[in-house]
């Protein structure tokens, strides 16, 4: 097995996964948006907790 075969296999896998995206429509975008907001508010909560504790 050559490196070329591995690279082509990875390329084929990504091509296959990108073919799924039109079927899913806007769902992946909404999922990333919701997860981004959740992580952002978690991070802000952690920063507020550290601020109340007097940490820098």
Return per-residue pLDDT of the chain as tens, 56 residues.
Answer: 799 999 999 999 999 998 988 888 999 899 999 999 999 999 999 999 999 988 66
Element of type H or E holding 54: none
Identify the domain containing residue 11 by its residue range: 3-52
**Predicted structure pTM score:** 0.60
**Number of folded domains in the chain?**
1
If one counts every other C-beta atom within 10 angstroms of the C-beta of residue 39, the result is 10
In the prediction, which pLDDT does 55 show? 66
CA dist 46 and 4 (Å) reads: 46
In the prediction, which pLDDT does 31 show? 96
């Amino acid at each position: 097995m050559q490196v070329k075969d591995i690279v082509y296999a990875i390329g084929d896998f990504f091509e296959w996964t990108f073919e799924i995206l039109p079927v899913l429509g806007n769902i992946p975008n909404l999922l990333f948006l919701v997860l981004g907001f959740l992580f952002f508010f978690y991070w802000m909560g952690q920063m507020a907790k550290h601020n109340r504790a007097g940490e820098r």
